[in-house]
Amino acid sequence: MSSPKWVQALSRLNVFGLLSDQFRFLTNLSSNRPAYFTRAVVLLVGPITFGISLHFHWRMESVGSLVGALGLIAGVFVSAFAVVFGLRVNIAARPTKVLERKSARLMDESALTLLAAGLLSGVDAMWLSVVSVSVPIDMVVSEIATAITVGLSSLVVVYFLLSIRRMHMLYTDTFLPFWKVQAAVHGPKPGRETSAAAVDARRNSAN
């Protein structure tokens, strides 16, 4: 039995699927086990900051500058997603090399994280636009509206950090830094206490 047409039409507006898919990607790369700490941060940062704002009775005086900043951030996230998506298309659907599999995995998570961050930034900007219109001139924002803004904005910050970290891992795993290459070729460098040659050199220099 097919769903009614109005349900199918509304499904196009459902963005919770994106957040759910991104949440499932919060796993350990090597074991694919859930990253419980990161998932807990994503789930709890909004309610915790919302409660902190209410507890300390925070109230915003102006939201105009925040609307423009969050709108710009949302556009940056979506643009970055487009770049990662274009790179992902260049990788085969079923990569066989270990490096390609790991890069594809990081690209998938990076793309969804960037898209989710853009979504949350846009929602935050739209919410602040409504608040800005509804608050009379020379009046401060209510405590509830401020708390909602703090909760949404803190979640945007978390997703910003997640995006930056995933893009960093994607780059350094694809293009190994020189210190990782040296460690792989030459092995770890001996410490000051374990290197006999270094000890003798220090003794000779002291004499």
* All residues at 6 or more sequence positions from 27 whose CB lies less than 8 Å from its CB, including other chains: 33, 34, 35
Is it the case that residue 95 has pLDDT exceeding 60? no
Question: Given this model, what pLDDT does residue 42 score?
Answer: 96
Mean pLDDT of 26-50: 92
The chain-wide mean pLDDT, for the chain, equals 81
Mean pLDDT of 81-100: 71
In which band, very low, low, confident or very high, does the pLDDT at 13 lie, cut at 50, 70 and 90? Answer: confident
Mean pLDDT of 75-104: 76
